[in-house]
Amino acid sequence: MSDLHDIDKKLIWHPFTSLVSEIEPILIQSAEGIYLTTDDGRKIIDAVSSWWVNIHGHSNPFIADAIAAQAKKLEHVIFAGFTHEPAITLAKNLISILPSNQAKIFFSDNGSTAVEVGLKMAYQFWYNQGIEKKKIVAIDGSYHGDTVGAMSVGERSPFTNAFSPLLFDVEFIDFPSADKEDYVVEQFKDIARQKNVGVFIFEPLVQGAAGMRMYSPAVLDRLIQIAQETNIICVADEVFTGFGRTGKLFASHYLKNKPDIIAVSKGITGGTMALGVTSCSDKIVKAFESSDVLKTFFHGHSYTANPIACAAANASFDLLMRDDCQQNIRHISSQHDNFKQKIKSHKTVKEVRNIGTIIAIELASQAGTSYFNDIRKKIYPFFLERNILLRPLGNVIYILPPYVIKEKELDAVYRCVEMFLESL
């Protein structure tokens, strides 16, 4: 097996990883349910759902069968001028659970592309009507992906420094934390009054990469209402929050006011295949329904609506809608609630935040929430040595397990977190 490590080191460039990193990647041979199995037989609990994608556990046999059957029937076909049943069924499935104003589905490959598509749709919505509304507004601390457009609407940070000159101008409003809601609403009102604002993009209720920062549905409803009153298109990035993560099928279901465009990915295939989807309302569609060919949405990827990915997503959808899955989500949520009560007053804890299947424990560290916070170097190995995969965001430890995790298994993760807090 060390051969594999050598070849990996020589040939592969891993994401978010220094090329002179001393740490060898862990070789995973197989995975089942919540467990990753290494080449030397260790079983590691995947308490972060492999970058938040896995919802039904690893190597889920129901999804695996759907993938295998589809691969033998139709693996791929160009999606311009052609269509297929898995994509049609998926569109129907998604429209049945997305907010009721969503009318059409556009396919891409991942979260960043789903966001890019959303931004381009919103931007061209105004262009097609000959209206000058070119300013985009986003929320401070946001993360929307790593492609240039998605980076532009995200927080400027050491991650984006090298590309600063390439990123387009975006106006950021402050993060609407509980103590700042009225201020941010006024701030947004001021910006929205400028006639050139066309798009408002946000991660509804939870900013994942910023350290699982959470804000209220009530303030987001107020912001969307202002956007609607001032004719600004709202793009909800539900790449992370979609498919049950926040306790409801989509975070947008906590809202009274519905976004015009929604980007999803991650949990869509249960974490098995790369797929992105951007949905939009009839209002958006109408701006593109034109005999003028120049009003077409000229965007597409080679693997658009890949049938195997769509089949995986349909199988994942069937599992998600089952009572046992919805019950698991509720159970994890209430277990998180109880754990929060237990540890929130611990001397090393600054704050515990939770919604649905997500819980985040912010440590009372001097260095703040930066990704480069040194405490991160302590947290990650502490848990791995105990066979739990937790990938902290700076001084924020978060747990967001696949929904199939059992009560005892989640308790074991909590116990390990308590041990860590005691060790500080």
Q: What's the min distance (Å) between Cβ of 201 and ligand PMP?
A: 10
- Which of residues 90 and 115 has its CB atom nearest to ligand PMP in the complex? 115
Structure tokens at 274: 């790369």
Q: Which of 297, 303, 240, 382 is nearest to 121 (CA)?
A: 297
Q: What's the min distance (Å) between Cβ of 274 and ligand PMP?
A: 8
- Which of residues 49 and 333 has its CB atom nearest to ligand PMP in the complex? 49
- Crossing angle of helices 307-321 and 323-343, rounded to 10°: 70
Q: What's the min distance (Å) between Cβ of 12 and ligand PMP?
A: 18
State residue 207 phi and psi, 5-degree precision: -90, 105
| R_g of the chain, CA atoms, integer Å | 22
- Which of residues 34 and 235 has its CB atom nearest to ligand PMP in the complex? 235
- Which of residues 152 and 335 has its CB atom nearest to ligand PMP in the complex? 152
Q: What's the min distance (Å) between Cβ of 146 and ligand PMP?
A: 6
- Crossing angle of helices 307-321 and 61-73, rounded to 10°: 150
> Please, which residues bridge with residue 355 across strands?
358
Which residues here bind ligand PMP, judged by CB under 6 A?
110-112, 115, 143-145, 203, 208-209, 237, 239-240, 265
Q: What's the min distance (Å) between Cβ of 360 and ligand PMP?
A: 14
Task: Give, in degrees to the nearest 5, the angle at Cα 136 between 190 and 396.
Answer: 90
Q: What's the min distance (Å) between Cβ of 65 and ligand PMP?
A: 25
Nearest residue by C-beta to ligand PMP? 111
Q: Which of 56, 26, 43 is nearest to 273 (CA)?
A: 56
E strand or H helix at 31, and its extent?
strand 28-32
Q: How far is the C-alpha of 167 from the C-alpha of 164, rounded, in Å? A: 5
Q: What's the min distance (Å) between Cβ of 266 and ligand PMP?
A: 6
- Which of residues 111 and 198 has its CB atom nearest to ligand PMP in the complex? 111
- Which of residues 236 and 349 has its CB atom nearest to ligand PMP in the complex? 236
Question: Do 367 and 375 form a contact (C-beta atoms < 8 A)?
Answer: yes
> Please, which residues bridge with residue 45 across strands?
35, 388
Q: Which of 321, 396, 408, 384 is nearest to 358 (CA)?
A: 396
Q: How far is the C-alpha of 380 from the C-alpha of 45, rounded, in Å? A: 13
E strand or H helix at 218, and its extent?
helix 217-229
- Which of residues 16 and 82 has its CB atom nearest to ligand PMP in the complex? 16
CB atoms within 10 A of CB 364: 12
- Which of residues 115 and 360 has its CB atom nearest to ligand PMP in the complex? 115
- Which of residues 203 and 260 has its CB atom nearest to ligand PMP in the complex? 203
Q: How far is the C-alpha of 104 from the C-alpha of 278, rounded, in Å? A: 8
- Give the C-alpha distances (Å, rounded to integers) separating 58 from 69, 140, 269: 18, 34, 12
Structure tokens at 302: 């080679």
Q: What's the min distance (Å) between Cβ of 222 and ligand PMP?
A: 21
Q: What's the min distance (Å) between Cβ of 144 and ligand PMP?
A: 5
